[in-house]
Each structure stands twice: as structure tokens, then as C-alpha cells.
Amino acid sequence: MRVLVTGLNHKTAPVEVREKLAFDGPGLEEGLNSFLQLPEVKGAMILSTCNRVEIYAHVSNPERAVDSVKAFLSEFHSIDPGALENSLYFYTDRDAIRHVFRVASSLDSMVVGEPQILGQSKDAFEFALTKGATGILLNRLLKKAITVAKRVRTETRIAENAVSISYAAVELTKKIFTDLSEKRFMLLGAGEMAELAVRHLIKSGVTDVSVVNRTYERGVELAREFCGRAVRFEDFIKELVNTDIIICSTGAPSYILHKSDMQMIMKGRKNRAVFIIDISVPRNIDPDINQLDNVYLYDVDDLQGIVDSNIMGREKEAERAEGIIEEELEKFLKWQTSLDSVPTIVALRNRAEEIKQAELEKLMNRLEGVDEKQRKAIEYTVSAVVNKLIHPPTVALKEDSEDRDVQIAMIKRLYGIGENNGSQ
């Protein structure tokens, strides 16, 4: 029983290839079903996200299986096999298990530590589980992968701290204000990054949104999108007395808000704190404003600096996460070998031999005047009985049958062996 991982991800294949190989909607069930028809495959699950397509399979012979998986993929998606040659990766055994752990723990993600992949892995596993496609090995592997991912999340800071500018802006906002739902927010200008940040802010509870645009109609349009109201450009400074959070992203060639304006505004607000994010280049807000009490001004470089150091922090945490994964990998492999037939046969024999010796000793102590010949005969008979009794299970273990895992587990339980050699 061995694990084979086949797949491609954002590092090995461009989106044009990834989207062709994706198993989405009904394609997932269909793909899983036809994959299970492959002769080498005993169990499987398919993980298909926008960044990766991976098949985790339980196979009898990985070397042979690699070719049939390749053929399956090109056939199922009607792609020339040559086109896949450089994109696909294959991992077996130890490397395969490590890969599954790393993917679930978000160490293989485009943005290391991003939280979605764990949920996606869980969903993919549960789907395969309900279709009865996984076996004992994959069940164990995926359940373990999920707990490893959780351990990585709680024991390292891999998922802490924002790694995008718009998220960094929202996190900062939460360190200045407590309840965003009672804060007034203003978007000055427009732009992709700014609008993304607005969406994050709204998700974090901001409800009072006003939008200022030099073209009033554009402002009205954007305001509708954010369920806010449009404010005329000429009026925006007046409006700032009641505004707590400002994101500025206009195309103005020079400052549109000066320190003296802000001083007046702060007096009007009785010094209630203001957080200003100026992501326009060139900057639209006089940087000296940051010197005023209770005014916090961040420009795009400040935010980028935060993001950079957060990414560095995540990379450092990723190293610790790799350590956890190696540790869990060893544990998993130990469990896997414990399920192997050879050690089970050895353990079974040892157990029988132990019993035989102990009973013989007892018997010899009780009997008196037994000569060498008689003793040999007794020993011979006892051995014969024992051997005959353990012969059928030994044969069963040696056979490479479909449900050998179950048999091994069963024999171990019936004979009371192997409970102490670490089943975890």
C-alpha cells in the first residue's frame, strides 16, 4: 500500500494549463469515478483549486501507476500528453505524504499561510469520502494532514499579519479604532487597491461610507456600489470633521489636504483620532500631517513596508512549520510500517513462541522423571500444534489482498499484539 501524489500548481504550470486540468462541478465526480477504474488505483481523492490540481491516490505499484495517471489526465481533459510533461509532478511514499501535509498547512501556497487551502482540502476529502473513494490509508492520511495543518496554525504565527496592502490597511485600522461600525469612512478618489480596501473595511464592520470624486457622477456610481453617499469634491474638507477613516487614491498631481487644513479639522473634531491612508502616487496628502496629535497617516510605502516585513515573518515561521511537518511525517510513517505485514508476522510468531516456551517450562517443572527422548517428543508435539494454529493467519498476511490493511488490524487485535509499538 503506497501513496502517489500527482499534480500541478501555480509554480509548475501557468493558469492556461491549470484551468484545462481543473475538475470542477460535475467534472469532479466524473473524474474521480473514472480515475478509480484504473487497475493500479485502490483509493483516491481529487483536490482542484484555482492554484492547483492534485490527485492523491492509494496505489499498488506507483511506478506503473505514474504512466496510467498521465494517460488518464490527458485523456479525461483531452490534452496532448506532451503539454503536461513539464507541468506535472509526482511524489511517492515519504515525499507524497510530506507534500500532502505541506499543502494542507498552506506551506505550498502562493501566499504562504493563506487560510483557504485547508478548507479546500477538507472539502475535497469529504467529497471523496462520501463517494466511498478513499480507503483506510487515504482516510488516515487526510485526517492527519488536517490535524497537522491545525497544529501548524496554532503553534506558529504563519497565518498572522496581513500580506496584502489592503489587508494591512484594515489591520492597522483595527489597532486604532475598536468598533468600526460606529466610525465614518471616506473614500477619496478611486482605484483597484483602494476599492479592495473599502470592501475589506465593510466586511470588518464599516457601514458609514462616503465617496468623493472629482467627477461627481463617478462618485455617485461608486457610492451606490458601497451603499454609501457621494460628496462633492469641493465639500470634502468640510466633511472631514466627521470622518474617522480616510482612504485617498486620487490622481491629483499635488497635495489636496494640507497640515493647516488638518489642524482646523482636528479642532473641530475635539481631537478625536483620524486614520488616513494615502495610497496615491504622487502622494495627495501632506506627510507632515502625521506630526499632528491623534492623526495617523500612512502612505503606500509604509503599507508596503508592513507587508514586506510580514512576508519575511511568515517565511521565518514557515521554517518552524517545516519542522513540525517532518515530525508528524515520521510519526505517520511509523504508523504505516506498523500496518505492514512483515513486522506483524514476526510479532505473531514471537507471541506464539513465547507462549509455547512458557507453557513448556511450566509443564517440565510439574512432571518428574521425564527423559530426554520424552521431552523432545513433547516439545515436538507442542510446536506442531502452535505452528498449525498460526499457519493460516501467516499465509493470509503474506497474500497481497485488497483488504490486507483490515486483516492486519484484525489479526493484531485478535492475538493482542502490536498495541505497544505506537499506532499513532
Site residues for another protein per CB under 8 A: 160-161, 172, 174-179, 267, 269-273, 290, 293-294, 296, 298, 302, 305-306, 309
Nearer to another protein, 11 or 267 (CB): 267
Query: For the chain, how many residues are written?
Result: 424
Nearer to another protein, 184 or 349 (CB): 184
**Paired residues of 229 in beta bridges:** 210
Nearer to another protein, 309 or 337 (CB): 309
Nearer to another protein, 80 or 179 (CB): 179
**Axis-axis angle for helices 372-398, 404-415 (nearest 10):** 150
Least Cβ distance, residue 119 to another protein (angstroms): 23
Terminal-residue alpha carbon distance, the chain? 18
Least Cβ distance, residue 177 to another protein (angstroms): 5
Least Cβ distance, residue 118 to another protein (angstroms): 20
Q: Which residues contact 396 (CB under 8 A, 6 or more apart)?
A: 407, 411
Strand order through the sheet with 52-59: 41-48, 52-59, 2-9, 89-92
Nearer to another protein, 241 or 386 (CB): 241
Question: Collapsing DSSP states into helix, strand and coil, what is residue 245?
Answer: strand
Q: Which residues contact 120 (CB under 8 A, 6 or more apart)?
A: 47, 49
Least Cβ distance, residue 162 to another protein (angstroms): 10
Cis peptide before 62 (omega within 30 of 0): no
Cβ distance 188 to 274 under 8 Å?
no
Least Cβ distance, residue 242 to another protein (angstroms): 14
Nearer to another protein, 143 or 316 (CB): 316
Which candidate in 38, 50, 79, 193 is catalytic? 50
Q: Which three cell numbers stand for residue 204?
A: 470588518
Told to judge if 50 belongs to the known catalytic residues of this protein, a careful annotator would answer yes
Q: Which of 137, 3, 134 is nearest to 59 (CA)?
A: 3
Q: Rounded to an integer, what distance in angstroms lies between the CA atom of residue 333 and that of residue 424? A: 9
Least Cβ distance, residue 87 to another protein (angstroms): 39
Q: Rounded to an integer, what distance in angstroms lies between the CA atom of residue 5 and that of residue 164? A: 31
Grid-cell match 494532514, residue found: 145
**Axis-axis angle for helices 26-36, 62-76 (nearest 10):** 140
**Axis-axis angle for helices 300-338, 165-176 (nearest 10):** 100
Q: Rounded to an integer, what distance in angstroms lies between the CA atom of residue 198 and that of residue 391? A: 72
Provide the H-helix boundaries in 278-371.
300-338, 341-366
Least Cβ distance, residue 302 to another protein (angstroms): 5
Q: Which three cell numbers stand for residue 191?
A: 482605484
| Catalytic annotation, residues | 50
